Structure formats: C-alpha cells, structure tokens
Structure 1
Amino acid sequence: MNASGNKGRTLERAFDVLRALENARSPIRLSEVSRETGLHIATAQRIMATLVGSGYAQTSENGYTLGPVALAQAHAFVLQDPLVKAARPVLTELSDSTGLTASIFVRSGFDRILTARVEAPEPMRYQFPIGRRLPLDVGAGKPLLAHLTDEELQEYLEDYPGVRLASGEHQTSESLRAELSEIRESGYHLGVSERVLGTVSVAAVVRSARGEAAGVLNIVAHDDTVSVDTLRRRIPEVLRAAELIGQQI
C-alpha cells in the first residue's frame, strides 16, 4: 500500500475510534474501544493518544470520552450549516403557529441526527439534545429512508431484522417497504407511538434546490394534548415549511 493509502486507512481508523467514543454513554476503556472498532489494542492506543493530544478525546479515571474540541466543532457546524441557518426562522414560525415542537434531522448512513430544534411552549417530556443520533426506520427517519435510491433501499431492507415499535406493533421489512412506498407518493409521514409511546408526529423531506433530500422536518406532540386528526390537519403546513427551507439551500 502506498503512503497515500496508509494515511487514508489511518484516518478511517481514527474515525472508527471517534465513533466508538460517540456511541459510549460513559467513559470507555481502551479494551472496549478495541472490541468496538476491531482494532488491535496497540493500534487503538496509538490513535487514542493522538486524539487526546489534539483535544478530540480526553482521559479520566474511568476511561476515555470525547474531548472539548468535538464540542467546538459541533458548535461550528450549527453556525455554518446552510440547512440549519435556513431552517431556524422557519422552525420558529412553524412552532409558533402550531404550538408544537419542530425539528430538523439529517441523514448519516442509516441513522438520522438532530441538527436544529425549536421547543413548543409545553416542551416534550423527554430530553432530546442537538446531535442526538436515532435510526431511520422509525418516526421522522422514514421520509429520509424513503428517499434513498432503489439500490440503497434494497440493500437496507434485505438485512432488515424488523423492530418492535413503541405501540407494540411489529414492523417487518415487508410492512416497512409498503409504508416507504406510500411516503414517496405523499411526501410525508404521520407517525403514532413509533419511537416513544404516546407521541404523534408529522415529518416531510426537505429537498434542496438540486432536488436532493437534504434533511427532514417534523413536528411532534404527545397524544394527550394533540389528537391524530388535529395533527393530520397540519400536514399542508409542514409540507409548505419543508419546501420553504429547501428553496433556500
């Protein structure tokens, strides 16, 4: 392998270690990093030392965590990202007009990441920080999943194990495929107790000026404060908001 290839592989390994730190809910030991990434422990140790030296990771008595530089870069993303900048005023207006929490998610592999959020006057009953990573196969992730290419979607569904939704319903690859087809036709997804029991949401893809799925916009509420029928009447408003954001990116 040439020098360029070696550098590329080293960079990939560093990203693997950073992902292991991101996924950990508490300080993680070097042995756990090695197991999570598949790297030899000596290789993981060398990479971790570099990350600690640059501020991307830090050490404690209990192991390793992400360092302060990761937070600084996340802050820079929020300030610089065109989608976030375009979405902020639209989310505020949408939240004000509906009285509901409005959010933007973007796709990362087969996950979605929360990048912008405006809380309703009566906020949700669970914490949901910017940067939170969630799967694509439930709730607001489905419109992003629906807009994968046919090849990407086929690859995803071939190995899809199914999932038990918060409602208790079992979502299979067949039922998910049918639902995604409907989302492609309608342009939105109405979800009821999918990720969290007792929540209802509407989500629509934000398309860029080039027609690409840049992200997804959703509004969400608890079903004891907003009925499914009430939320359904908000669908045109959500679609217009998603279109307005897309026109600016």
Structure 2
Amino acid sequence: MWNILKARVAAKRGKKLAENNQGRTLERAFDVIECVSSSSDPLTLTQISKATGLHIATTKRILGTLERRLYLKQAPNGYTLGPQVLPHAHAFLLQDRLALISPPILRDLTAVTSLTSSVFVPSGDQRILISRVEAPNALGYEFPIGQVLSLTLGGGKVLLAHKPAEEQERIIEAADSTPLADQKVQTPETLRADIEQILDTGIFVSASERSHGTVSLTAPIRNGDDTVIASINITGHDGLTNAEDILKHQANVLQAARRISSQMS
C-alpha cells in the first residue's frame, strides 16, 4: 500500500513538473517572438539570447522550432518574423469586436475634424494601434496597424491613468526622466501630474511630446462594465491645429468614444 501511495505522489509530481516545463517553454517562445518583433533590424542568436536572458542553447532550440513553423525566418544577418504571423494578425482584425466596429466611427470622426483618428489598446507597458483613419492633410509620418507605442508619452497616458495603482507606479518609476520632442524633460512628477489631470478632465491634450509639431487629443473607451479597454484620439500637425484649437473637437472625440463603447456592450 505504501509503495502504491509513493508511486501516485511521484506520478503527480512528474505530471506537475512536465506541465511547469511546458509552461516555461511556451513563455520562452513568446519572449523570443516579442524580442524579434520589437526590432526593426534582424537579430542574431547572441542578441536574442542576451535580450531574453535565455541560455544560448535554449535560444537556439526555440529559434529552430519557430523557424520550422514559419513564425521566424533566418536571414544572412539574423532572424526576422516569418510569414506565419500574418494570418494571425488578419484573423485578429476579423474577430476582434473593437477592431471591427472602430473604422466607420473613426471615418466619421476624421470627416468632422479633418484630423487623423486612431484607436489603441493597452498591452503591458505599451499600447498597440488597432485602427486608424488618415486625415486628408496627413501627418509627416504614418503608423501601420500593429504599431507599438509607449504608455508614458502622448495619448498613451490616458491608458496609463486607468491602470491599477501598483502597476501604474511601476511604469512611472521605470520611465524616469524622458526627453520630449519639444526639448522639455518629463519626470515622474510631471507624469503623475498629467495622470491626475486626465482623471479629473477625462481627456488629455499632447503637444510635441513624442514627435515635434504633433498635437493630439485622447479620450478613453470603456466597455459595458465601465472598464477602460482602449483609447481614441485625433492627431494633427501644428500647421493645422494647436493645443487650444484641438479642444474644439473634444465633444466629437467623446461622442465617438461613447459610440464605440455602446457597441461593445
């Protein structure tokens, strides 16, 4: 009987160990994919190993698996994302409700304001662009769907303001002192002040923070439980608008946010 009990305990431990190992392997694979996707240039085996903190042999094994499945591909100067990621991105745009309902509302918002309009969703310490309509007088830069930006600059602060307090403070402290495009320096103290202002007014106007001459107005998008799940903004360059003039479109932005929220219920 004692031997049977010991065998059962050993089996349970073995199963748990196997599950833990599978979980770690999966997380490591995601770490590698995220590392490669965050770089605009190919990354070598050594660079990926150092960036992820994985042993080089472990990294090589994961790279081999991901390359066979076409999630990564190897170029002469390193690894890049493979074609298999594209069907997943396309499926997201077809399946995600926020991505489906946002475009027509953004088109209406851009038609009224003549400014570029966008929807971002939070992802950890960053935000991801999932929908965008360019203005007739486009900005000096264009973002593709999937563009990743910081939560601590510009409209990202609206999403940061609605993070849980502990997570919010961790992100603020990690940002430290950040040079802005207007030559000013954002400190944790000024970032906290911006967050207080967002929670007080419900919006945020940014001018020349991330990009010189760019002005934006951002508001939160909520779901049926009143939880902030995304942000909506309008953006233009200082030849078209400024921090004072863009406030004239506040009602339009808030109305667009409410239209999206009402369809998310």
Q: Normalised by the size of structure 1, how large is the TM-score? A: 0.97
SS of the residue aligned with 1:116? strand
Give the SS at the match of 2:190.
Answer: helix
Aligned to 1:39: 54
Q: Which of 86, 89, 98 is the equivalent residue of 1:71?
A: 86
Alpha-carbon offset, residue 227 of structure 1: 2.9
Aligned twin of 2:250: 235
- 2:69 maps to 1:54: yes
Structure 1: unaligned runs, 5 residues or longer: none
TM-score, normalised relative to structure 2: 0.91
Residue 262 of structure 2 is aligned to residue 247 of structure 1: yes
| Residue identity in the other structure for 1:223 | D
Matched AA of 2:84: V
Query: Which residue of the partner structure matches residue 127 of structure 1?
Result: 142
Q: Does residue 11 in structure 1 map to residue 26 in structure 2?
A: yes
Give the counterpart of 1:179 among 194, 208, 218. Answer: 194
Displacement after TM superposition at 1:127 (Å):
2.6
Secondary structure class of the residue paired with 2:216? strand
Residue correspondences, number:
249
> Greater Rg, structure 1 or structure 2?
2
The secondary structure found in structure 2 opposite 1:185 is helix
Q: CA deviation at 1:155?
A: 2.5
Deviation at 1:32, TM superposition (A): 0.8
Equivalent-residue separation in structure 2 for 1:15 and 1:30 (angstroms): 15
Is 1:109 matched with 2:152?
A: no
2:99 corresponds to which of 84, 87, 111 = 84
Contact 2:207-2:242 within 8 A present in 1 as well: no
Q: State, as a whole percentage, how many aligned pairs show the same letter.
A: 43
**Secondary structure of 1:15 counterpart:** helix
Distance 1:18 1:164, change over 3 A: same
* Equivalent residue, structure 1, for 2:3: none
SS of 1:17's partner is helix
Q: How many angstroms apart in 2 are the aligned matches of 1:157 and 1:99?
A: 33
Match in the other structure for 1:151 = 166
Paired letter, 1:11: L
Question: Secondary structure at the residue paired with 1:247?
Answer: helix
Matched, 1:137 2:152: yes
Partner of 1:94: 109
Render the CA deviation track for 1:10-29: whole Å, top value 9, x for unaligned: 00100110011101211111
Cα-to-partner distance string for 1:181-217 (whole Å, 9 max, x where unaligned): 1101111101111100001100001001111111100
Task: Give the corresponding residue for 1:221.
Answer: 236
Residue identity in the other structure for 1:96: A
CA–CA distance in structure 1, aligned partners of residues 105 and 142 of structure 2: 22
Distance (Å, rounded) in 2 between the aligned partners of 1:191 and 1:173: 17
Secondary structure of residue in 1 paired with 2:84: helix
Q: Secondary structure in 1 aligned to 2:226?
A: coil
Aligned-residue offset at 1:160:
3.5
Retained in 1: the 8 A contact 2:181–2:210? yes
Q: Deviations over 1:29-48 (max 9, x none)?
A: 11111111111111111101
